[in-house]
Structure formats: C-alpha cells, structure tokens
C-alpha cells in the first residue's frame, strides 16, 4: 500500500551523457497565497536561466483564495544553478512566497533518538546502508545504553544520555541540544519514549519526526496495543508525524495499517505493529529527505 512517488532521480543521474560533466540539480519548495501566473513566472525564470525542469508537482488548497504549494526539480550547469537562488528572490517577493532550494546532492544529516525498542532504528540504518534514503545518519542517541554495540559496529557514534527520573529530563535535554547543535538537519524519534519539551523543540532548530505506534487520532498516548486489543479493533496502525508541543497532534506525514483479529494477543499486536511502524517511519523520513513534504497548518502536503 505504499503510495506512488516520483522517482526520477536515478534516471536523471544515469541519463546525462557520460562524457559530459553531470548537471547540478536543485529542488524548489515554495508556497504562497494562490494567484494567477505563479507557474508561468517560475517556469519562465528557470527556462530563461538555462535550467531544465525535470519534475514539477503543485497543489492548491483552493484555486480561488487558498494556499498554493509547489515542488519543482530542475537541472542545469553549476553556473546556472548557483545563480538561480539570487534571481529567484525577485519572483518570490512578487508572489509573497515562502521558499527554499534543496540540493539532492547534499543528503540531509539525520540524528536518530531511540529508547529500548530498536526495530525502527535497525530499519533506518539498514536503508541508510543500502542508500535507499537521501540521508546521512550522523549519530544515534538514547536514554538507554542497550544499542551501543550494534550502533558502533556500523561506525556510527552512539550517545547515552540517561533520564533516570523526570527531574533529570531538563539536563538530558540540555545535553541533547548540545549534541545536536549544528550537526543535523533532521531529528528522528525512532521509538524514543521521552516527551520532548516545547523549549527543546524551539531550540533544536530542525524538524523532528516521530513514529507513533497507533493509527492516530485513535489510541493517542501510551499503551496503544493493549487498548487496541481491549477495543477489539480489526486493524492496527502507525503514524509518522512532525513533533509539536501538542503531544501526538503534530502534522501527519504518513500512516498505514495491518489487519489483525481476536487471535492476536498484546504481544502479537506489538510484533505486527513493529512491522508497520518501521515501514511508515522509513517512508516519512525518506520523503522528508527528498523534500517532498510541506507543512500546511496542522496537516501536510506530500508530493
């Protein structure tokens, strides 16, 4: 049930004439109030500059008065691409755009936080080693020491920042912030069972993605599998979302479910759930790293 996503990157990489210098690529992510002429202006700018649009996706929450979202991937010589950011500023100003350029050649630096359950951690590391994620994992931190050996065996730094009791949490967050400062573009909570404070989220300065082990908004909070069994649901799910101060309420990036029955006890639900969790989190992290996810209020646009 994986949704279909545009996967032109490798064709681009491989299709350019072998003898020529490969073209540089960039991704424009932009949003603004919807209004006539946006696509015409952007595509003209890119064309006039000598860049070739490789892929373009757009969405308007309402073509007459809503918000317009654009993801445009283009290729050009280093010279062309480097000059574009500056020239784009004028167009962006005209339309009142929020925008940024992403560079697919520079993988996002990802820090992974984990507690005792390692299925999401292991799956992310596996996909990272296989180059399935447009990401560079830079460190793993945990409030438990359990996974030190497994992480270090993969050549990654592991940081144990314990939180023995609630009183230690501010200090642990301080250490985490120090550790993460400037080292990463994304923090992934791969079953990190500590609630991060609003101060932490403001200070960390990069997006934080969490995997929640239920189909939100059902079974928000703790113990979702036990509650799913009590309620007799026929599907269990998982939700990857950006973390906000409102616990389990942040913008949802991806969800999926798995069929279960009365035969599954809490242990079995937990095991089956682990498969959904790792799948859903890997998709969300992958899409984020490919600059496919734009926030829209408390929801997301996923191109």
| Residues 12-31, interacting with its own copies (CB under 8 A) | 12, 15-17
Query: What is the nearest approach in angstroms of its own copies to the Cβ of residue 198?
Result: 21
| Residues 273-292, interacting with its own copies (CB under 8 A) | 275, 279
Query: What is the nearest approach in angstroms of its own copies to the Cβ of residue 123?
Result: 8
d(CA 65, CA 78): 37
Candidates 248, 256, 265, 275; catalytic one = 248
State the pairing for strand pair 52-60/67-76: antiparallel
| Residues 253-272, interacting with its own copies (CB under 8 A) | 253-265, 267-268, 271-272
Considering only the C-alpha atoms of the chain, give the largest distance between any 2 of them, rounded to a whole number of Å: 63
Give the residue from 46, 153, 139 showing the smallest Cα distance to 101: 46
Contact residues for 186 (Cβ-Cβ < 8 A; gap 6+) = 108, 109, 110, 111, 135, 206, 207, 208, 209, 285, 288, 289
Task: Identify whether the C-beta of residue 175 lies closer than 8 Å to the C-beta of residue 158.
Answer: no
Alpha-carbon distances, residue 275 vs 70, 111, 118, 269 (angstroms): 33, 21, 12, 10
| Residues 154-213, interacting with its own copies (CB under 8 A) | none
Binding residue (CB under 8 A) for its own copies from 170, 205, 217, 221 = 217
Alpha-carbon distances, residue 95 vs 30, 90, 140, 271 (angstroms): 10, 9, 41, 49
Q: Which residue has the tokens 């932009």?
A: 30
- Asked if 248 is an active-site residue, the reply is yes
Binding residue (CB under 8 A) for its own copies from 77, 85, 101, 122 = 122
Bridge partners for 294 per DSSP:
301
Point out which span in 3-11, 82-90, 157-165, 202-210 binds its own copies (CB under 8 A): 3-11
Query: What is the nearest approach in angstroms of its own copies to the Cβ of residue 185?
Result: 23
Binding residue (CB under 8 A) for its own copies from 115, 143, 194, 300 = 300
Which residue's CB is nearer to its own copies, number 3 or number 166?
3
For 221, the enclosing helix (H) or strand (E) is none
Binding residue (CB under 8 A) for its own copies from 77, 91, 126, 206 = 126
Which residue's CB is nearer to its own copies, number 197 or number 299?
299
x-marked contacts with its own copies along 81-120 as a string, rule CB under 8 A:
--------------------------------------x-
Please list the active-site residues: 248
């Amino acid at each position: 049930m994986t949704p279909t996503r545009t996967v032109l990157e490798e064709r681009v990489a491989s299709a350019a004439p072998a003898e020529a210098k490969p073209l540089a690529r960039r991704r424009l992510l932009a949003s603004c109030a919807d209004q006539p002429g946006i696509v015409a202006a952007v595509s003209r700018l890119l064309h006039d500059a000598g860049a070739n649009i490789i892929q373009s996706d757009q969405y308007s929450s309402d073509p007459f008065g809503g918000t317009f979202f654009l993801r445009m991937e283009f290729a050009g010589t280093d010279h062309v691409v480097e000059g574009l950011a500056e020239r784009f500023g004028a167009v962006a100003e005209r339309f009142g755009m929020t925008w940024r350029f992403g560079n697919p050649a520079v993988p996002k630096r990802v820090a992974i936080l984990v507690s005792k359950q390692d299925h999401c951690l292991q799956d992310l590391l596996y996909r990272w080693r296989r180059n399935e994620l447009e990401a560079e994992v830079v460190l793993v931190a945990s409030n438990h020491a359990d996974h030190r050996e497994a992480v270090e065996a993969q050549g990654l730094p592991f940081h144990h920042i314990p939180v023995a009791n609630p009183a230690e949490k501010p200090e642990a967050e301080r250490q985490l912030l120090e550790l993460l400062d400037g080292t990463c573009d994304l923090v992934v909570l791969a079953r990190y069972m500590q609630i991060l404070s609003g101060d932490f989220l403001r200070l960390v300065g990069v997006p934080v993605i969490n995997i929640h082990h239920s189909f939100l908004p059902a079974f928000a909070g703790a113990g979702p599998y036990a509650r799913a069994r009590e309620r007799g649901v026929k599907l269990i799910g998982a939700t990857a979302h950006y973390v906000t101060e409102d616990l389990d309420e942040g913008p949802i990036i991806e969800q999926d479910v798995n069929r279960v029955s009365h035969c599954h006890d809490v242990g079995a639900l937990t095991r089956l759930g682990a498969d959904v969790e790792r799948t859903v989190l890997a998709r969300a992290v992958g899409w984020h790293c490919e600059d496919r996810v734009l926030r829209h209020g408390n929801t997301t646009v996923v191109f």
